[in-house]
Amino acid sequence: MAHLAPYPGMPKHMEPMGFPGERVENWQQKGVEKLGELLKKYRSLQVYLDICVKCGACTDKCHYYLGTQDANNMPVQRAELMRSVYRRYFTPAGKMFPGLVNAVDFDEETLQKWFTYFHQCSQCRRCSVFCPFGIDTAEITMAAREIMNAIGVGHKYSVEIIGKVHQIGNNLGIPKPALKGTLEFLEEEILDSTGHDVRLPLDQPGADVLLVAPSADFFSEPHIQSLMGYAKVFHQAGISFTISSYASEAANFGMFIGSYEHQKKIAKRVVEQARDLKVKRLVVGECGHAWRVAYSFWNTLNGPLDFLDPRYPAPQHICEFTHDLLQRGALSLDKEANDNYRVTFHDSCNVARATRMGPKAGGQFEIPRDLIRASCNHFVDMDEDTIHEKTFCCGGGGGLLTDELMDLRIRGALPRVTALKRVMESDKVNFMALICAICKAQFSKVLPMYGISMDVVGGVHQLVSNAIQLGAKKGVV
């Protein structure tokens, strides 16, 4: 099948990352050594390679399996690609009776399978919800990608993007003048459509908040609608904020390639920038894995974040931020502004299964839904087996949002699209709100393949943006 295998990274992408430019000579030995090293560094990997009982409960839980019917996309089989190598080199049974326990050499054929199938996992963790031991195939995928990078067999898309972050500051490679131009253009746009002078400041020292959005928010549709929504919320609340040209990216592809070092380095840009600009709060825009990294890892990677306002000592999600303001009466929303929409909500998997919002477990489901309900009159959830922690991935996460994997992305979206179509028919839904830049990009591309218009997708803050009454109240006191 075409469009199911990723493009390999070239020396010009790999070398600046500190990875070998091409496959190293003794790659088998190096790969096995790297696996040994990771086993000592990650308890998840060690335990998960050991304890799978092959119960099969996860076999029909992965969207890529459901979409491709390829057995290697069953989470347990995907993990088996690494487990069989692990057994061969690290367990007595695999060393002595490889045939009996299904242990295989790390050879060419195995490596090809790794390269293919560890790039058919979006690290969405749906399998970990359903496994009796919580075995998280994403952890295994990350380790596999790290091992492959270490022997010079990388995926072009992810390493190339990380390179852009280090060189220019964001995934899309947007330089500062272009960013400035866009923000000014958006300010005019909002002024024209609302009559209000809403600002989108860049590199403004001393602002209250550093807003870190996924770079797609600056240039892509429908992302940009949410960006205008964030700005209006700040404006209305009377809280000053700034965007940083140096850290103009919330996304962190270091996670996708399983590299602690790269994750840390990318995240460091944000923390340093927050310190330099002397902001008191950190707020993260609508992006799934970015929120995972910010919520779960920033503090650990580059903490303690002790320069922040003690009342907001940790990064907040833009939905938490807006929700808090709404509850304190700082915003007024006119639901009728969205009366042309009947809305449903896609729980982005990284938000749903790897993070939280607010103080209570499950806040990541409730807070965005509260915001939607406050912004529109018609809201309905999709099938309960496809929402909350059981949500289906959009099919484009985990570093797979690249054209050469288009077939895979279309197939991977199938379970989500099926659930969406059902509410489109039964409840006349015509808008799927979500809070992830990758999901937005993926759905805008893929939904048309299923006969659904791309403007069915948009951000939660797009709805907020439509509903917010600028000037209706005077900020937070």
Q: Which residues bind another protein (CB under 8 A)?
A: 39-44, 46-48, 50-61, 71, 74, 76-77, 80, 91-93, 99-102, 125, 128-136, 139, 260-261, 264, 295-297, 299-300, 303-304, 313-315, 352-356, 359-362, 364-365, 389-390
- From the list ligand SF4, another protein, none, which binds 134 (C-beta under 5 to 8 Å, kind-based)? another protein
Q: Is 68 helix (H, G, I), strand (E, B) or coil?
A: helix
Closest contact distance (angstroms) between CB of 237 and another protein is 22
- From the list ligand SF4, another protein, none, which binds 304 (C-beta under 5 to 8 Å, kind-based)? another protein
Q: Is 281 helix (H, G, I), strand (E, B) or coil?
A: strand
State the binding string over 138-167 for ligand SF4 (x if CB under 6 A, else -). x--x--------------------------
Name the H helices within 195-259: 216-219, 223-237
- How far apart are the C-alpha atoms of 228 and 186, rounded to whole Å? 7
CA dihedral angle for residue 286, residue 399, residue 250, residue 294, rounded to 10 degrees: 90
Phi, psi of 61 (to 5 degrees): -105, -15
Indicate which single residue of 2, 26, 54, 477 sits in contact with ligand SF4 (rule: CB under 6 A).
54
H-helix or E-strand spanning residue 11: helix 11-14
Could you list the beta-strand ranges (E) of 149-262: 209-212, 241-242
Closest contact distance (angstroms) between CB of 26 and another protein is 24
**By C-beta, is 129 or 224 nearer to another protein?**
129
Length of the chain in terms of residues written: 477
Going across the sheet that includes 457-459, the strands are 343-345, 431-434, 457-459
Q: Give residue for tokens 């009342």.
A: 311
Quote helix, strand, coil % in the chain, to nearest 5: 55, 5, 40
Q: Is 75 in the site for ligand SF4 (CB under 6 A)?
A: yes
What tokens appear for 268 in the block?
């460091």
Please give the residues from 435 up to 454 whose contact with ligand SF4 meets the rule CB under 6 A. Answer: 436, 438-439
State the binding string over 250-289 for ligand SF4 (x if CB under 6 A, else -). --------------------------------------xx
Closest contact distance (angstroms) between CB of 452 and ligand SF4 is 16
**By C-beta, is 116 or 194 nearer to ligand SF4?**
116
Binding residues vs ligand SF4 (CB under 6 A) = 52-58, 61-62, 64, 75-76, 78, 121-127, 131-133, 135, 137-138, 141, 288-289, 348-350, 393-394, 396-398, 436, 438-439
